[in-house]
């Protein structure tokens, strides 16, 4: 039996886009649609970014989102091809997956992501995500970061008070919101992964 006195007292939760991916998923996906269809990327992005919040809060399904985009942009692409293209726009940040797998046993690991239907299901099927103990997706919660309700949901899912959890994100606004809620925010950029690992190790080890 594990001695409860030796269980980790600090834990960690992550954002997904820009942390477990390199760059922005939205930028790649809209560029890929433009390249496949021949429609100008600015036209694709104008429609995409005007409506993407409907996906992020779960108000629209991905097929409905795509039907609106087709009508507005003139892109002609069957939904099944769009979905494959969309999911194929994920560019993994492999060092972060290595960090995830190496987290000490007993450290509770969470995810809080402004995400989309179909994409969140795709991530759940990824065997690497088995290391996560708690997954909070905006499209299922109905609220997105940096709203305090997102961080309240994360705290509940983590089963530890916010003060015992570091939150890793690539957007300063989200870090500020996490800190305001009581989490220990760590701003991330993939170009400085080694520095991040040292900062996270110091947090988990209780020296920061």
Tokens of 114: 């402004």
Q: Mean pLDDT over all residues of the chain?
A: 95
What is the fold of 4-23+91-204?
Rossmann fold (3.40.50)
Whether residue 52 has pLDDT greater than 60: yes
pLDDT of the residue at 7:
64
Tell me the H-state helices in the chain.
25-37, 41-56, 62-73, 79-87, 94-102, 119-125, 138-141, 148-158, 172-181, 193-204
Does the predicted model carry a pTM greater than 0.85? Answer: yes
User: What residue spans define the domains of the chain?
Assistant: 4-23+91-204, 25-87
Distance CA 88, CA 64 (A): 19
Place 207 in a pLDDT band, splitting at 50, 70 and 90.
confident
pLDDT of the residue at 23:
84
Residues 58-111: tens digit of each pLDDT: 999 999 999 999 999 999 999 999 999 999 999 999 999 999 999 999 999 999
Q: Taking the CB of residue 81, how many other CB atoms lie within 10 A of it?
A: 11
Residues 105-148: tens digit of each pLDDT: 999 999 999 999 999 999 999 999 999 999 999 999 999 999 99
* 200 neighbors 186 (Cβ within 8 angstroms): yes
Share of the chain above pLDDT 90, in %: 93
Whether residue 3 has pLDDT greater than 90: no
Place 1 in a pLDDT band, splitting at 50, 70 and 90.
very low
């Amino acid at each position: 039996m594990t001695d409860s006195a030796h269980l980790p007292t600090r834990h960690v939760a992550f954002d997904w886009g820009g942390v477990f991916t390199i760059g922005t998923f939205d930028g790649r996906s809209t560029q890929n649609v433009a390249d496949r269809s021949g429609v100008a990327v600015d036209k694709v992005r104008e429609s995409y970014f005007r409506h993407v919040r409907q996906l992020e809060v779960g108000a629209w399904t991905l097929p409905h989102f795509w039907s609106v985009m087709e009508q507005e942009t003139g892109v002609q692409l069957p939904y099944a091809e769009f979905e494959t293209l969309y999911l194929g726009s994920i560019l993994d940040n492999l060092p972060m997956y290595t960090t995830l797998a190496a987290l000490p046993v007993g450290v509770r690991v969470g995810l809080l992501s402004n995400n989309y239907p179909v994409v969140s299901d795709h991530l759940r099927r990824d065997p690497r995500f088995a290391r996560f103990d708690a997954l909070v997706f905006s499209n299922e919660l109905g609220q997105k970061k940096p709203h305090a309700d997102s961080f309240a949901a994360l705290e509940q899912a983590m089963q530890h008070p916010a003060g015992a959890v570091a939150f890793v994100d690539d957007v300063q606004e989200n870090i500020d919101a996490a800190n305001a809620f009581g989490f220990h925010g760590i701003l991330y950029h993939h170009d400085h992964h080694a520095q991040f690992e040292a900062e996270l190790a110091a947090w988990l080890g209780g020296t920061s």
